[in-house]
Amino acid sequence: MKEINSEFYYDKFRKACNQYYKFNDNSFELFKDITFIKEVKKSQVLQDTYSQAKYIYFIVKGILRTYYLNEKGNIYTKNIFSENYFSASKVSLLTKKDSYLNIDALEDSILIYIDFEKYRQLINKYIEFKEFYINYMEKNWVIVKEKNEISLVLDDAQKRYENFIKANPNIENRIALHHIANHLGITPTQLSRIRKKIKSHK
C-alpha cells in the first residue's frame, strides 16, 4: 500500500477521532502504532460467532454490516455503518467471549483495524485515551443507542427509513435494499412502497 494513501487514511481517522477528543501529535502516533490498514472485499466476513472479537474497525471507505444469525438461519441486521464510523462486536471485546454478532463487508472496503487489548492498555496509561473512550461511549453507546431504541418504538417505518438515509447519504444506491429493509424491521416490499411514496411527494 502506498505511503501517501496511508497518510490520507490516517488523516480521515484522526478527523473522526477529533469528534470525541483532539489528540496531540505524539498521542495520535501512539494510537496509530496499535492499528493497521487493510483492504477487504465485498462479502468478506470480519467477525463470526465462533470466535472472540479482537478489533474495532474504522471505516475509511466502504460499508460494514453487523448482524445476528439465529438457529433457523434468519438474519437480523443490527447496524449498517459507512465511512467515518467505527464498528465492532462490543460485547465480545469487553467480555472476551465468542461474539454473538457477525460483521461483514457490503462493499469493497478500506478499514483501519484497532487492536482492542492494546487500546485498553493506552486507556489505563494515558488520560487522553480514557477521555476519548468515555466521550465515544457516551455519544454512541448511550445517546445514539437510546435515540435509536426510542425510534424503533415510536416512529413509523417511513420515518425510520428517512432517519437512516439522513445518517447515511446515498447508501440506498450502494447496497442491496433488502439489507436496509432487514435493518428497519420491514419487508423489501414495504420498503419499496415507502420509497415510491417519498418520491411521489418530491
CATH class of the 6-126 domain in this structure? mainly beta
Report pTM. 0.90
- Mean pLDDT across the stretch 31-42? 97
54-81: buried (b, 16+ CB within 10 Å) or exposed (e) per residue?
A: bbbbbbbebbbbbbeeeeeeeeebeebb
103-142: buried (b, 16+ CB within 10 Å) or exposed (e) per residue?
A: bbbbbebbbbbbbbeebeebbeeeebbeebbeebeeeeee
Q: Which long-range contacts (CB under 8 A, 24 or more apart) does 135-138 make?
A: 135/20, 135/21, 136/20, 136/86
Instruction: Return the pLDDT at 1.
Output: 42
- Checking DSSP bridges between strand 35-40 and strand 102-105, what pairing results, if any? unpaired
Q: Judge whether residue 30 has pLDDT over 60.
A: yes
- Mean pLDDT across the stretch 167-177? 92
Q: How far apart are CA 197 and CA 55, in angstroms?
A: 41
Structure confidence at residue 145 as a pLDDT band (50, 70, 90): low
Which bin fits 32, alpha (ψ -120 to 50), beta or left (φ > 0)? alpha
Q: pLDDT digit string (tens) for 81-114?
A: 999 999 999 999 999 999 999 999 999 999 999 9
Structure confidence at residue 158 as a pLDDT band (50, 70, 90): very high
Instruction: Return the pLDDT at 3.
Output: 47
Q: Judge whether residue 31 has pLDDT over 80.
A: yes
Instruction: Return the pLDDT at 142.
Output: 67
Phi, psi angle pair for 201, to nearest 5°: -95, 0
- Of 4-8, 11-15, 123-127, least confident by mean pLDDT is 4-8
Structure confidence at residue 155 as a pLDDT band (50, 70, 90): confident
Instruction: Return the pLDDT at 2.
Output: 43
Structure confidence at residue 139 as a pLDDT band (50, 70, 90): confident
Contact (CB, 8 A) for 141 and 91 = no
Q: How far apart are CA 123 and CA 21, in angstroms?
A: 13
**What is the domain partition of the chain in residue ranges?**
6-126
Average pLDDT across the chain, whole number: 91
